[in-house]
Amino acid sequence: MKEPKNKIRQIWQQLYPDAEPGILSSFMKKLDKVKNEISFPPHEKEWYKDAIVYSLYVDLFNKDFPGLENKLDYLQDLGVNCLWLLPILDSPGKDAGFDIKDYRSIRPDLLGLPPESSNDEKAAVFAGFLDKAHKKGIRVIFDIAINHTSDQHPWFLESRSSADNPFRDYYMWAEDDKGYSDARIIFKGLCESNWEKDGDQYFFHRFFEFQPDLNYRNPDVLIAMAENLIFWLKLGVDGFRADAIPYLWKEEGTDCENLSQTHMLVKFFRAVIDHIRPQTLLLAEACQKPNEVVKYFGEGDECHAGYHFPLMPQMFKALHMQNSSPVANVLSKEVTPDIPKESQWFTFLRCHDELSLELVYVTEEDRKYIHDNYCLKPEWNFRLGQGVSARLSELMERDPAMIALAYAMMLSLPGTPVIYYGDEFGKFNDREYYEEMIKLTGKDDTRFLVRGKLNWDQIESELDNPGSFSSEVYRQISKLINTRKKYPVFGRGILEMIDVSDTDGNNVHEVMGYHRTYSCNSILVLLNLSDKEKHVSPPTARIKTSKQDMLGQAVIIDEGNKSLRIPAKGYYWFFV
C-alpha cells in the first residue's frame, strides 16, 4: 500500500487536475505539523475487531457528558469497550444532530457549559471525557455527516447570500429542479424532491430540505472536511462513523450513488487519518447491498469497517420463520463477498433508525414478510412500508426470552456487534418523545419512537428488582456480552453453517447451528428459533459429557436416545 502522503497527492491529481497547486501544498504542511504534535499512543492493530460497541445519544442517555461519565462504570460492567456517540456536533437538531452547523464544536448543552463557551473550552471538556473513558478501556467514536450540512451552517448561510459569494460553490445551485433526475428520493414519503427552492434558485439535497448537500467538485470542500477530521484526531478521538458516504459525488446521468469519485474521496480521508494516527477507525454507513458495501473497504485503503445492513432484517426474518435459511443465505459468499483481511463488518439488531426494509438490500417478498409480521401497530410504519419504527423489545413483543435469543444470534455471528442504548434492559418505544420531536421538527418521523430519554432512577430501581422485566433482560444480555468479549474467535473467526438433526437423522430446521473458528479455537452455536423444546443429536461428541455450556447454562442430555434438549427459544454456546 502506498505511503499515505503519496496517496493523498495521487488522489488529488485525479480529482482536481486543474486545482491551484498551493491548496494541496499548504494542506500537506498542516498534516505534518499535526502529526508531529500528537502524543497519543498508537492504536492496537485491528482493535475494532474485538470491540463491543454501545450506541447512544449523550443527552438522551444521561443529559450531558458529565452524566455519561457517571455511567462509564455501568457500561464497563455491561461489557462495553467502545462508545459510538450519535451526533454530538453543534446542530439545530432537526434531524437528531445529523444536520451539522459547526464541525468543530460540540453542542454546549452536552458539555454542561453555557452557550457562549468558546470552542477551546468545549474541546477541553470533551478531551477530559475521552481521557476518563480511555482509562476504563473504552474507546470513543462519533458521527460525522460529510455528505451534507445544516442550512444553518456558516458555509450555507454565505452560499445562499449571493450568487457571487466565495462559498456559493460549496453547494449545488441550479436555475431549476431538473438536475440529477436519476437520483432516488431517500426520504420517500417525507420529502417530495431532491431540490429545494431558495430565492430564485434551487439547491440540491439527498436528505431533508434543511440538509443541503456539499459540492465535492470544489477542492476547497474536500480540504475543509479533511481539516474537520484533523481537529478531532488532535483531541484523541478513536474513530469516525462516516454518515451517508455513498452519495458524496454527484454525476448527471447516474443515480449519484457509489460513484468512482466517491471512492476516491473516501480514500483521501483514509490516507489523511493513516498519516496522522493509523488504526483510527473509519466506519462506513453505506445503506447498500453487501457487494457494494465491500467496495468501501477498497484494498484496505478506504473504510476499516462497514455496517452489514442486509443481515439485520434477515435475522428478524429467521426468528419469525423459525428457520436459519435467511441468515445463511445473506452470509453466503454469493451475497456477502469476502472482505480484505484487515476489514470488518459491524452488525446490529436495532439502531437509532427504523428496522429498514429498503429494496437496495431486501426483496419485495422479504419486505412484505417482515413488515407484515413485525409492524404490529400502524404508527410503527416508516416511509410507506420501507421500514418499521420499533425498539427491539417491542418487535419481540416484550418477551425476554426472544430478546435474549436475538442477541445470542447477533453476538455470535461474524462482525463487531453494536448494542443500541436501552435495548440491554428492554427499553420500550417512547411516544412522548416522538410527539415532542414532531412539534420541534414539523416532521412525522416515526424513527423518533425508537429514541427517547432514559430515566435512570426508574431503570436502577427495576434493575435492582430480580423479578422485573428490565432485570430479566439485562441479566441475560450482559452475560452474553461479557462472555463474547473474552473470546477473539467471535470477532475474528470464520463462520461455518451446519445442519442440525434429530437422532433419527431428520433435519431440525428450527435449530440454527454454526461453528465459529479462529486459530486453534472453535465454538459451536445452537439456537432454537422455535417456541417449543427441541431434541437434537449433539453435533459433536464432546457435548454429551458437558455439564454446562460456556454461558454457564445447564446441558441436559436425554438418557434414552442421548439427544440434547434445547429449551424453547433457548441457545447454547459450546467450546468444541
* 173-174 vs 201-204, strand pairing mode: antiparallel
CA 484 to chain centre: 19
* C-alpha–C-alpha distance, residues 299 and 287, integer Å: 20
Read out DSSP for 31-91?
A: HHHHHHH--PPPPPTTGGGG--EEEE-HHHHHSSHHHHHTTHHHHHHHT--EEEE---EE-
- Catalytic residue of the set 238, 257, 285, 445: 285
Sheet holding 511-518, edge to edge: 494-498, 511-518, 521-528, 571-575
The maximal CA–CA distance of the chain, rounded, in angstroms, is 86
| 377, amino acid identity | K
Residue written as grid cell 431540490: 195
Q: Does residue 243 carry a catalytic annotation?
A: yes
Rg value, the chain, Cα: 24
> 3-state DSSP call for residue 547?
coil
- Catalytic residue of the set 50, 213, 238, 243: 243
Residue written as grid cell 439545530: 92
> Three cell numbers at 517?
473458528
Q: Does residue 444 carry a catalytic annotation?
A: no
Q: List, in sequence order, every residue forming a beta bridge with 213; answer none if it has no partner.
A: 148
* C-alpha–C-alpha distance, residues 317 and 328, integer Å: 12
Q: Give the residue among 437, 408, 429, 430 at the shortest CA–CA distance from 512.
A: 408
* C-alpha–C-alpha distance, residues 414 and 449, integer Å: 29
CA dihedral in degrees (249, 251, 256, 260; nearest 10)? -60
Distances (CA, A) of 246 to 148, 216, 256, 262: 12, 13, 8, 7
Q: Supply the DSSP symbol for 294.
A: G
E strand segments, 289-329:
305-307
* C-alpha–C-alpha distance, residues 426 and 404, integer Å: 10
Burial of 15 (0-12, 13-18, 19+ CB in 10 A): middle
> Three cell numbers at 130?
475521552
Q: Give the residue among 169, 143, 147, 99 at the shortest CA–CA distance from 249.
A: 147
Catalytic positions are 243, 285
